[in-house]
Amino acid sequence: MGKGFQVVVVRDYDPNSDLTRVEELEKSCEVGSLLVDLMGDPLARIRQSPSFYMLVAEIDNEIVGMIRGTIKTVTRGGNALHDGTSPVISTTKLAFVSGLRVSPYYRRMGIGLKLVQRLEDWFRLNDAAYAYVQTENDNAASVKLFTEKSGYSKYRTPTFLVNPVFKHRVTVSRRVKIIKLDPSDAESLYRNRFSSTEFFPSDINSILNNKLSLGTFLAVPRGSDYVPGSLPASWAVISVWNSKEVYKLQVQGTSRLKRTLAKTTRVLDAAFPFLKIPSFPNLFKPFAMHFLYGIGGEGPRAAEMVEALCSHAHNMAKKSGCTVVAAEVGSCEPLRDGIPHWKALSPEDLWCLKRLKDDDDCEDWTKSTPGLSVFVDPREI
């Protein structure tokens, strides 16, 4: 019997019996040239969310596919016009499709589509009004599955900005003062200044108080004082998420010559740190990262403030043993220029959105105009 005629069973993931087989499947499914190591916990990337679920696809007791999903309440956006008036803020229950994997041998059998459809059943059962998925813009198979076969619309095109963590510390501008905020002050700042930002999570307090959140940092001009509820003319804020405790990554398929050249830059950087050589990180063995989220600010010096915060975050990551620092921002993000990154390491993403049911009497979110910024939830990276 050909593999296309075999019976595919989609069921709930059972951590007691499925763990080893799911890990084997994960290792066999490269995301481009990138391998993801969830360090023994297939739920690691979703278990921090308020509601999560995982399914597996099975043929003759062999796990050949899997998919994960989460649900939360977010802001649908109210910052598109920026015309000086208070934005109209609306929220919706949003589902997230994550970690779809199908064994290379069993592809083109409709297993991916079956997994997506079953996950959407769970979304609807739990009253999610919309579902979205993140994928790389050049991942043709993934884009086709969601936009042509599953009814998703191409929605936003953010960029995943990746910057190496060098062997040397980077200099934080002396023109800027950096203050670590108490989680309650950080929550107040985000709710007061970002609650109309698209994809802003209603449970921001849970994120900021999560054990994986390494803190929220506010940058103000040197000489300024910060009083909760009162900000200077120019300021910026960034929060840091410790992805190192959730998963590790590894790039494969790179030539020996390129690996040798990259190693040479690291050796020189370590030997002569005062030269501040921009060394290429070792991405060819398992590595970890810190993720920057909640990026925002206002004023004529806001980009400068963000750059200082990124320098501070780089030094935190260096101390922690991370290889890269990453952030994801919308295509129109006004503070993007203040976020250091290497273009060669920074892929263009595609977010696709699907309406699962009527969301009261609100306008269809899939047809909304992009705002300047999006809030990227670190639990979904």
Q: Each residue of 63-96: pLDDT tens digit?
A: 999 999 999 999 987 654 444 455 567 899 999 9
∠312-314-319 over CA atoms, to 5°? 100
Most confident of 35-49, 158-172, 362-376: 158-172
Q: How confident is the model at residue 225 (pLDDT cuts 50, 70, 90)?
A: confident
d(CA 168, CA 133): 37
pLDDT tens-digit profile of 245-268?
999 999 888 888 989 999 999 999
Task: Specify the pLDDT at position 80.
Answer: 41
Q: d(Cα 83, Cα 239) in Å, to the nearest integer?
A: 28
* Nearest Cα to Cα of residue 202 among 314, 92, 85, 109: 92
As given in the structure block, the two tokens for residue 127 are: 């009253």
The position carrying tokens 């597996």 is: 56
Distance separating alpha carbons of residues 379 and 291, to the nearest angstrom: 10
pLDDT at res. 360: 59
109 pLDDT higher than 70: yes
Tens digit of each residue's pLDDT (9 = 90 or more) over 158-208:
999 999 999 999 999 999 999 999 999 999 999 999 999 999 999 999 999
In our burial notation (b when 16+ CB lie closer than 10 A, e otherwise), range 8-41 reads eebeebeeeebeebbbebbeebeeeeebbbbeee
Overall average pLDDT of the 85-110 stretch? 86
**Residue 2 — pLDDT band, cuts 50, 70, 90?**
very low
Sign of the Cα torsion 146, 147, 153, 159 reads positive
Q: Using one digit for the tens of pLDDT, what is the confidence trace for 290-349?
A: 999 999 999 999 999 999 999 999 999 999 999 999 999 998 899 999 999 999 899 889
Flag whether pLDDT at 361 surpasses 80. no
d(CA 266, CA 279): 5
Q: What is the pLDDT of residue 124?
A: 97
Is the pLDDT at 3 greater than 60, yes or no? no
Q: pLDDT at position 16, please?
A: 92
Closest C-alpha to 245, from 51, 24, 39: 39
Cα-flanking dihedrals φ and ψ of residue 238, to 5°? -145, 140
User: Which of 327, 370, 318, 323 is CA-nearest to residue 346?
Assistant: 327
Structure tokens at 86: 């208070």
- What pLDDT, on a 0 to 100 scale, did the predictor assign at position 254? 84
Distance CA 132, CA 124 (A): 13
Task: Give the residue carrying structure tokens 């005062």.
Answer: 274
Average pLDDT over residues 231-243: 96
Give pLDDT, residue 31: 62
Cβ–Cβ under 8 Å, residues 299 and 332: no
Q: Using a pLDDT cut of 90, give the percent of the chain over it.
A: 74
* pLDDT tier at 50, thresholds 50, 70, 90: very high
Q: Go through 121-132 and write b for each residue having 16 or more CB atoms within 10 A of its CB, e for each that does not.
A: ebbeeeebbbbb
HEC secondary structure over the chain: CCHHHCCCEEEECCHHHHHHHHHHHHHHCCECCEEEECCCCCCCCCCCCCEEEEEEEEECCEEEEEEEEEEEEEECCCCCCCCCCCCCCCEEEEEEEEEEEECHHHCCCCHHHHHHHHHHHHHHHCCCCEEEEEEECCCHHHHHHHHHHCCCEEEECCEEEEEECCCCCCCCCCCEEEEEECHHHHHHHHHHHHCCCECCECCHHHHHCCCCEEEEEEEEECCCCCECCECCCCEEEEEEECHHHCCEEEECCCCHHHHHHHHHHHHHHHHCHHHCCCCCCCCCCCECEEEEEEEEEECCCHHHHHHHHHHHHHHHHHHHCCCEEEEEECCCCCCHHHCCCCHHHCCEEEEEEEECCCCCCCCCHHHCCCCCCECCCHHHC
pTM above 0.95, yes or no: no
- pLDDT on residue 137: 84
